[in-house]
Amino acid sequence: MTPSGYFLEHLWLIPLFPLVTAALMLLIGRRLPRSAVSFFCVGSVFLSFVHAAGAVFQLLAVAPENRVYQQILFEWITPGAMPGPGGLVNFVADWGYLLDPLSCVMVLVVTGVGFLIHVYSIGYMGHEGGYYRFFGYMNLFMFSMLTLVLANNLLLLFVGWEGVGLCSYLLIGFYFLKKSAADAGKKAFIVNRIGDTGFLLGIFLIATTFGTVRFTSQMLSDPVAYAGILETLRAMVDQGRLAYGAPILTGIALLLFVGATGKSAQVPLYVWLPDAMEGPTPVSALIHAATMVTAGVYMVARMSAIYQLAPVAMDVVAIVGATTAIFAASMAVAQNDIKKVLAYSTISQLGYMFLALGVGAFSAGIFHLMTHSFFKALLFLGAGSVIHALSGEQDLRKMGGLWNTIPATSRPFLIATLAIAGIPPLAGFFSKDEILGHVFNRHNESLIMDRYLFLWAIGVVTAGITAFYMFRLFFQVFRGRSRVATELEEHIHESPKSMTVPLMILAFLSICGGWFALPVLWGENNTFGTFLEPALRGVKDEIGGVEVGHHTLFKEYLLMMASVGIATLGIWLAYRLYLQYPKLHSKVAAAWPRLHNLLINKYYVDEIYDALFVNRVKDLSTAFGVVDAKLIDGVGVDGAGWLARVISRISMWWDKWVIDGLVNLAGKITNGLSVPVRMFQTGVFSSYAVLILLGLAILLGYYGHHMHMIVRNLR
């Protein structure tokens, strides 16, 4: 039975609702009252959520292997022929949507959490200028993100990918009067673009390798005419034209991963995310925690069939993930801005997700993506509520003792903090434990140490650091004595219902969200993993499939105890340093000043990038400007002009002295010849008279002589 029903057939409505309201806001929003703006913008996201939920239910109605629904709206880019795997193919990128278990999870997270954050924004942004603009951008973001997760091909995914990047740019720079905000937006965009170059090249390589960018031809009328990457890959593997570890697959996987490091803020392209905290807090919650930054994780999972055949790329993904996880966590320890702590925490948690993907635990990575979106959205929204209560204060050192002053914020915040710290039975515990378990299982037991054990150790240590910095934050904000500035103290107020109700719903999800995937060894079936399995199966089970170490219940408990133990240790440390002996942490910092400085300054990575790249490009720009003015124009163009003038001078000289010279010479010769003649041409009448007389005399003499002779002869 193939999936069908109203909601599936109207899949295209899911991204369209927010697009329509976004266009409405950006065109005429300025003239609408705030209530109308909230009604349209939040309402459209709610409609998307309802349609998404309906579509998921209709998909669930069929057997697991048939849970794919695909619709092609129109042919989008049709640039002509290109070489494909079987000779020339006409390259076509559709505008089409795909709903399978993987996009089900994403679309529910995006619309669900997105809706809650939209509701929250009504309260949070209530007193801000540009209300319509904010919601317009937020809706535009929802459209882009939904296009990203519902796209049926890589190129349309890229549309969403760039679209969310644009909205991120616009929303980070929402307070565009602030230079730091505008700078941060620009930085985010450009750093993402650097990653995108890899992504684009990856798309090209996929297109030339498989002749298509469509993910799958499943559930399309004609699987040959509408080829899919998955099916083509399977056929090529069957024919032996591609094999496990083929360089071209590794190339594709690595290039796509470059894109993922940009969007999902991994080493070395994570630098934009902490700066992105310049945006309004709901933006940080929606874009920079719950949805957009997970796009890289989603994309890698979407291309899992290729990654499973590219072991080198998988190792790179795992190593980059683990490195980012611990590196970002260490930076979170020393931050004093509440949102910056959460930003580094997000980077670190995304590292966990990539670690999971890198060891082949795709569903575990997506599971952590989901639980993380619950508790991290909650943490950001909670932080926003705190900032709201303190009239804009973000410095942890100027907070404290808010536990009972703003209870509707502080209680959910504690739940989220426990969830991210990995305390059972909250959501974060199950997802993080599943990842660590998978990493550990890849470990070859005959060796004392191998890279998987090392990665696992990094993961566990990071879990400890995470618990530490999160409780450091929690204690500094909510417990201890109040360090709030006295003039702010009297204004402290609980946030309105529109803000606190989403907090409570997210708190509920942070508690229960993990129960979808209870460990198999507990005698439960991992519902979440089983649901996702058809979408992440890859092309062949046997090749490169993840070897799974045999795992006993005892070892499972041991691993759990290790991670819970180290989390507890982190919490205890935070308690000692920040609550029990509040002076102690400055002493610790003073004891290791260099380390402390390094962490405070975030390892000087921004400065290093500026020195190595940003300033060098600027220098190059100045240098090229000089090349244009001095070399190309100065030597080339002006040189040509100079040459023309020189030639013109030479030809002038030639004309004057050679050509004209010859003419003159001829004249001179004539002239010279005329000298004796001229001697007589004096112009003096008297001399002429003398000459005339002289001539006459000669003539007369001559003729006279002749006459004489003639006459004589006659005689």
Partner 1 sequence: MGLFHDHLLSVVLFTPLVGAMLLLFIPRDAQMLHRVVGNLFGVLGFLVSVPLVIHFPVGSNDYAFRETANWIPSIGAKYALGIDGITLLLVMLTTLLGMIAITSSWTAIHTRTKEYYILLLLLQTGMLGVFMSLDFFLFYVFWEVMLVPMYFLIGVWGSERRLYAAIKFFLYTLAGSVIMLLGILALYFNAAKVPGSVPTFDVPALLAAAQHFPDSLKVWLFWGFFFAFAIKVPMFPFHTWLPDAHTEAPTAGSVILAGVLLKMGTYGFLRFSLPLLPADAVLRAKIIHILILLSLIGIIYGAIVCLMQKDMKRLIAYSSVSHLGFCTLGIFALTPQGLSGSVLQQINHGISTGALFLLVGMLYERRHTRLISEFGGLATPMPNFAAIYLIITLSSLGMPILNGFIGEFTILQGAFVVNKAWAAWGTLGIVLGAAYLLWLYQRVMFGNVTHDVNKTLPDLSVREYAVLLPLVALAFWIGIYPKPFFAYIDKPVEKIVQQVNPKFYEQANRALPPAAPVVAPSAPASLEVK
Under the binding rule (CB under 8 A), the answer on residue 331 touching partner 1 is no
Q: Which stretch binds partner 1 (CB under 8 A): 76-84, 106-114, 480-488, 590-598?
A: 76-84
Q: Using the rule CB under 8 A, is 461 a contact of partner 1?
A: no
Q: Is 193 in the site for partner 1 (CB under 8 A)?
A: yes
Q: Least Å distance between CB 102 and partner 1?
A: 13
357 touches partner 1 by CB under 8 A? no
- Phi-psi region at 130: left, alpha or beta (left = phi > 0; alpha = psi -120 to 50): left
Question: Nearest-5° angle of CA 330, CA 334, CA 339?
Answer: 95
DSSP string over 219-240:
T-S-TTTT--HHHHHHHHHHTT
The C-alpha atoms of residue 710 and residue 147 are separated, in whole angstroms, by 134
Q: How far apart are CA 715 and CA 703, in angstroms?
A: 18
Q: Alpha-carbon distance 639 to 48, whole Å?
A: 66
CB nearer to partner 1: give 182 or 600.
Answer: 182
Pick the closer one to partner 1 by CB: 193 or 483. Answer: 193
User: 439 to 458, contacts with partner 1 by CB under 8 A?
Assistant: 441
Nearer to partner 1, 10 or 551 (CB): 551
Question: Does residue 692 bind partner 1 (CB under 8 A)?
Answer: no
* Cβ at position 289, least distance to partner 1 in Å: 24
- Those residues whose C-beta lies under 8 Å from the C-beta of residue 606, and which sit 6 or more positions away, are 271
Binding mask 538-557 for partner 1 (x = CB under 8 A): x--x---xxxx--x------
Q: Is 650 in the site for partner 1 (CB under 8 A)?
A: no
Instruction: Output the CA torsion 76→80→82→87 (10° steps).
Output: 110
Residue 5, both tokens:
């029903």
Instruction: Please state the three-class secondary structure of 393-451 as a single string.
Output: CCEHHHCCCCCCCCHHHHHHHHHHHHHHHCCCCCHHHHHHHHHHHHHHHCCCCCCCCCH
Looking at residues 13 to 42 of the shown chain, list those that interact with partner 1 (rule: CB under 8 A): 26, 30
* Total residues at interface with partner 1 (CB under 8 A): 96
Does residue 316 bind partner 1 (CB under 8 A)? Answer: no
Q: How many CB atoms lie within 10 A of CB 344?
A: 25
Q: Of 236 and 465, which has the nearer Cβ to partner 1?
A: 236
Distance, C-alpha 51 to centroid of its chain: 28
87 near partner 1, judged by CB under 8 A: yes
* List 363, 371, 466, 510, residue binding partner 1 (CB under 8 A): 363
The span of 44-52, 168-176, 314-322, 706-714 binding partner 1 (CB under 8 A) equals 168-176
Binding to partner 1 in span 232-261, by CB under 8 A: 232, 234-236, 238-239
- Per CB under 8 A, does 632 bind partner 1? yes
Of the residues 6, 9, 28, 197, which one makes contact with partner 1 according to CB under 8 A: 197
By the rule CB under 8 A, 571 interacts with partner 1: no
Closer residue to partner 1, CB minimum distance, 92 or 390? 92
Q: Which of 336, 405, 530, 568 binds partner 1 (CB under 8 A)?
A: 530
- Report H helices in 211-361: 229-238, 247-263, 272-275, 281-285, 295-302, 304-307, 311-333, 338-358
Asked if residue 33 has a cis previous peptide bond (ω within 30° of 0), the answer is: no
Report the distance separating Cα 353 and Cα 366, nearest Å: 7
Q: How many CB atoms lie within 10 A of CB 673?
A: 10
Nearest distance from C-beta of residue 631 to partner 1, angstroms: 9
Q: Which of 2, 34, 75, 687 binds partner 1 (CB under 8 A)?
A: 75
Cβ neighbourhood burial of 193 (10 Å; 0-12, 13-18, 19+): middle
According to CB under 8 A, which one of 7, 49, 91, 516 is a site residue for partner 1? Answer: 91
Binding string, residues 472-511; x marks residues near partner 1 by CB under 8 A: ----------------------------------------
Distance CA 76, CA 558 (A): 53
Contact 309, 245 (CB under 8 A): yes
| 584, amino acid identity | L
Instruction: Specify the stretch interacting with partner 1 by CB under 8 A; choose among 368-376, 471-479, 535-543, 576-584.
Output: 535-543
Residue 155 binds to partner 1 (criterion: CB under 8 A):
yes
